[in-house]
Amino acid sequence: MYLLNYLGHPVDFEGWFFLFAVLLIITNSCINPFIYAAKYRRFQEGVKSLIKKIRPGHHQSQIAAVV
């Protein structure tokens, strides 16, 4: 829709189609992390590593050992 607007085609940015497209985009953005978490081992490992780094109780020396 933005491309059509840029090319000069009249687009209604308050109409039902635009709002529906925005809803699909938001839904996709919310679901993607769960799909990645379920499907990709490398993503799972990255999340675990991130949680270990920010988890309270870790000292700076323990964090440096992980990096």
Q: Is the pLDDT of residue 29 over 70?
A: yes
pLDDT of residue 17: 87
User: Residue type for 37, please?
Assistant: A
Residues 11 and 1: beta-carbon distance below 8 Å: yes
d(CA 63, CA 1): 46
Share of the chain above pLDDT 90, in %: 22
Q: Is the pTM higher than 0.75?
A: no
DSSP string computed for 12-62: -TTSHHHHHHHHHHHHHHHHHHHHHHHH-HHHHHHHHHHHHHHSTT--HHH
The yes-or-no verdict on residue 66 having pLDDT over 60 is: no
- Mean pLDDT, the chain, as a whole number? 82
Per-residue pLDDT averaged across 19-32, rounded? 93
Residue identified by tokens 């679901």 is: 31
For residue 14, is pLDDT > 60? yes
